[in-house]
């Protein structure tokens, strides 16, 4: 099926993350690898003054520990990556860098805000150069 699968996870919903990893395991070639990724969003400049300076550092530390827990649950996860920035842009850039065959991304039920700005999953689907499976 697929030799290298990228699973970008939103760590605020552990159930969806675990479900995406299980789907990746089911679609993985023998000897293939799963790569977990999380993107910590940058704070807009107008908010940076009003929040503690170490908020991004703490978010990265928290993401590392949560990804380690997920990695321990699957022998197929070979790598975890944490990036900072716009989620869709970082997911797409990392997918190209490591040459994945498939991206499995979770999506929430669309609401009114998606019609104006779109969701991360929408952007990844539109711009990915590999196959994308959207898990709902």
Closest CA to 36 of 16, 56, 54: 16
pTM score, two decimals?
Answer: 0.90
SS3 at position 45: helix
Q: Which residue carries 């919903």 as its tokens?
A: 13
- The pLDDT assigned to 13 comes to 87
- The pLDDT assigned to 23 comes to 97
The predicted-structure confidence for 26-59, as pLDDT tens digits, reads as follows 999 999 999 999 999 877 766 666 677 788 889 9
SS3 at position 18: helix
Using an 8 Å Cβ cutoff, are 5 and 28 in contact?
Answer: yes
- The pLDDT assigned to 119 comes to 86
The predicted-structure confidence for 71-119, as pLDDT tens digits, reads as follows 999 999 999 999 999 999 999 999 999 999 999 999 876 665 555 555 8
E strands in the chain: 2-8, 28-40, 77-84, 102-106, 131-135
DSSP annotation of 75 reads T
Q: Which two tokens stand for residue 55?
A: 């908020």
Using an 8 Å Cβ cutoff, are 24 and 5 in contact?
Answer: yes
Domains, the chain, in order of start with CATH, read 2-135 (3.40.50.620)
Using an 8 Å Cβ cutoff, are 103 and 6 in contact?
Answer: yes
- The pLDDT assigned to 104 comes to 98
């Amino acid at each position: 099926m697929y030799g290298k699968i990228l699973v970008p996870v939103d760590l605020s919903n552990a159930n969806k993350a675990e479900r995406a990893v299980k789907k990746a395991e089911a679609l993985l070639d023998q000897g293939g690898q799963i790569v977990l990724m999380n993107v910590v969003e940058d704070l807009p400049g107008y908010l940076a003054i009003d929040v503690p300076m170490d908020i991004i550092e703490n978010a990265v530390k928290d993401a590392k520990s949560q990804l380690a827990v997920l990695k321990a649950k699957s022998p197929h996860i070979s790598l975890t990556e944490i990036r900072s920035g716009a989620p869709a842009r970082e997911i797409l850039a990392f997918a190209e860098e490591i040459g994945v065959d498939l991206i499995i991304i979770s999506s929430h039920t669309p609401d009114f805000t998606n019609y104006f700005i779109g969701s991360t999953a929408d952007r990844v689907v539109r711009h990915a150069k590999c196959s994308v499976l959207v898990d709902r």
